[in-house]
Amino acid sequence: MPSPGPKWLRLTLLGLLGGAISGTMVLLFRVAIEIGQMLLLSTSGANGYDALEPHWRILLPIGVGLALGLAFDRLRPEHRQVGVVHVLSRMQTPGGELLPLGNLISQFAGAIAAIVGGHSVDREGPAVHIGSASANLLGQGLRATAEEDYTLAACGAAAAIAAVFNTPLAGVVFVMEVLHVRYDVGRMLPVIAASVVGAVFGRLAFQDEPVFELPALTLQTHWELPNLVLLGVITGLIAVAFIGLSERVATRALAWPCRVTFPLAGLVTGALALATPQIMGVSYHTLEALLHEQLGLGLALALILTKAVATGVSVGPRALSKQISPTLFIGGAIGSAFGLVLKEAGLLGTAAPAFYATIGMVAMMGATLRAPLAALTALLEMTANPNIILPGMLAVASAELTNRLVKGKDSVFEALLKIQSRAPRARRGSE
C-alpha cells in the first residue's frame, strides 16, 4: 500500500475507517437479530421466549441447532472456526491471511440463527469476530503490511465492543487484556480512534444512554467490605466450575460432527428452559430484572445453575456459544442471590441486592475472561455509576485470586484455544 504520510498517521486513518466498517457490520448484525426475533416470536426483542409453550422451548433450539449443524458440516473445516477464540488464535499466528472472509460469513449467519433460535449465547462474542474480521479485510484489500493487518484486527474488535455495549474505553482495554494486544502508543492510537467511532455508531443507531438504567447504588457502610470479599470468592469458584465444564465439553465434543453437537446443545438448553425460559437467547431482559430486584432468591439461584450449564455445554458446538454476556448474566444472578440472602437475614445497613448484582457481574466477567480491568471499565461505562469502582475492584481481585489459586491463569478463551490446538486440523470445530 502506498505511504502518503507518516506511518502513524496512515495507521490512525485506517483505524478510523476500520472502526466505521466494524461498527456498521456489528449494527447490521444486531438489527438482523432483533428483526429475526420479532418475526419469529411476534414480540419486541428476546422477551418472547418466556411466553413460548413448553414444547417449543425444546423444539426451537433443537431444530435450529440441527439446521445449523447440517450447514456447518458442509463447510470446509477451517471455515467453521469463529468467535473470540478464532480471533485470538489468528492474531497469535504470525504472517498469512489473518481473518478470512469465509469465517466472517459463517459467524454472521450462524450467530444470528443461534441467537434467534433461543440458544444460550450472546451477541458480543460474535460481534468481536465480525468487527475484527471486517476491519482486517480492509487491510487485506489495501495490501497492508502484517503490522497494519494486526492493528486493524484489534481496531475492529475494540469498535465492536464499543458499539454493542456503548463502552469505548472498555473496547480498548478488551483488546489488551483478552486479545493480548501489547500496548504501544503508535498501535493504541488507531485502536482508540476505532473504538470512538464504534461507540458513536452505536449511539446514533440506538441510544446515548447507559446499557443498564440503575439508581445510584452504593455501599451503605465500609463494614460491608468483607461481604464483597466473600462474594468475590464465591464468584471465583463458580467461574472455575464454569471454565472446567466448558473445557470438558469442548474436549469430548471437538471430534463430533456439528449435526450432532449443535442440536444436542439445543436439547440441553431447551430442557433447562422448561424450568427457566429466561436463559434462552441473550437474556438481557432477565438481567435487567435481576438488577431491579424483580426476581426472588429461588429463581436467582436456579438461573445461576441453568445458565451456566446451558452455556458451558454449548461450548462443545463452539459456533453456538459465546461467553461474554453469559458471564454478566451468571454474575448478576450470583450477586443478586447473595444480596437477597443478606436481606432475608435481616442484616441492617447492607446495600441493596441490586448493588451486589452489579458487583457480581464485574467479578464473574473478570474472573472468567481474565480481564479484570476490562470488566470494571465496561460496568462503569454501562451503569454510569462510579460507586462500583472501589467495591468492584475488591470483588474482582478476590474472584481473580480465587480463580488463579484453584484453576490457573488461563481465561476461558485461552483454555478452549489450547484444546482446539491439540486437535487434528481436519477435526477442529469452531469457537
Based on the fold, state whether residues 157 and 270 are members of the same structural domain. Answer: no
What is the pLDDT at residue 60? Answer: 94
Above 60 in pLDDT, residue 426? no
Q: What is the CATH number of the domain that holds 397?
A: 1.10.3080.10
CA 190 to CA 10: how far, in whole Å? 9
Above 60 in pLDDT, residue 424? no
What is the pLDDT at residue 297? Answer: 94
In a domain, 213, yes or no: no
C-alpha cell at 242: 464454569
Based on the fold, state whether residues 198 and 250 are members of the same structural domain. Answer: no
Based on the fold, state whether residues 337 and 298 are members of the same structural domain. Answer: yes
Above 50 in pLDDT, residue 315? yes
Structural domain ending residue among the three candidates 157, 173, 205: 205
Averaged pLDDT, 29-44: 82
In a domain, 73, yes or no: yes
In a domain, 430, yes or no: no
Above 80 in pLDDT, residue 211? no
Above 50 in pLDDT, residue 357? yes
pTM for this model (two decimals): 0.90
What is the pLDDT at residue 345? Answer: 83
Based on the fold, state whether residues 298 and 190 are members of the same structural domain. Answer: no
Based on the fold, state whether residues 147 and 228 are members of the same structural domain. Answer: no
pLDDT in tens, 377-421: 988 888 888 888 899 999 999 999 999 999 777 888 988 888 887
CA 287 to CA 276: how far, in whole Å? 13
Min mean pLDDT across 10-14, 167-171, 314-318 is at 314-318
Based on the fold, state whether residues 281 and 162 are members of the same structural domain. Answer: no
Based on the fold, state whether residues 247 and 140 are members of the same structural domain. Answer: no
> Can you say whether residue 136 is alpha, beta or left, with left for phi > 0 and alpha for psi between -120 and 50 degrees?
alpha
Min mean pLDDT across 119-133, 211-225, 254-268, 294-308 is at 211-225
In a domain, 292, yes or no: yes
Residue 118 CA from chain centroid, whole number: 16
pLDDT in tens, 124-146: 889 999 999 999 999 887 877 88
Above 70 in pLDDT, residue 41? yes
Min mean pLDDT across 42-46, 55-59, 327-331 is at 42-46
Q: Which residue has the higher pLDDT, 277 or 214?
A: 277
In a domain, 147, yes or no: yes
What is the pLDDT at residue 204? Answer: 84
Structural domain ending residue among the three candidates 154, 174, 205: 205
Provide Rg for the chain, Cα atoms.
Answer: 20
In a domain, 214, yes or no: no
Q: Which residue has the higher pLDDT, 186 or 190?
A: 190
Above 70 in pLDDT, residue 423? no
The string over 9-21, giving b where at least 16 C-beta atoms fall within 10 Å of a residue's C-beta and e elsewhere, is ebbbebbbbbbbb
User: Residues 400, 236: contact at Cβ < 8 Å?
Assistant: yes
Averaged pLDDT, 72-98: 84
Above 80 in pLDDT, residue 298? yes
Based on the fold, state whether residues 132 and 233 are members of the same structural domain. Answer: no
Based on the fold, state whether residues 232 and 157 are members of the same structural domain. Answer: no
In a domain, 215, yes or no: no
Structural domain ending residue among the three candidates 205, 236, 261: 205
In a domain, 338, yes or no: yes
Averaged pLDDT, 102-108: 92
Based on the fold, state whether residues 239 and 181 are members of the same structural domain. Answer: no
**CA 386, 198, 24, 161 torsion: positive or negative?**
negative
Residue 376, exposed/middle/buried by CB under 10 A (0-12, 13-18, 19+)? buried
Domain range enclosing 394: 222-420
Above 50 in pLDDT, residue 429? no
Above 80 in pLDDT, residue 2? no
Total domain count for the chain? Answer: 2
Min mean pLDDT across 3-17, 55-69, 109-123, 300-314 is at 3-17
Based on the fold, state whether residues 124 and 76 are members of the same structural domain. Answer: yes
Based on the fold, state whether residues 332 and 411 are members of the same structural domain. Answer: yes
Above 90 in pLDDT, residue 323? no
- Average pLDDT along the chain: 86
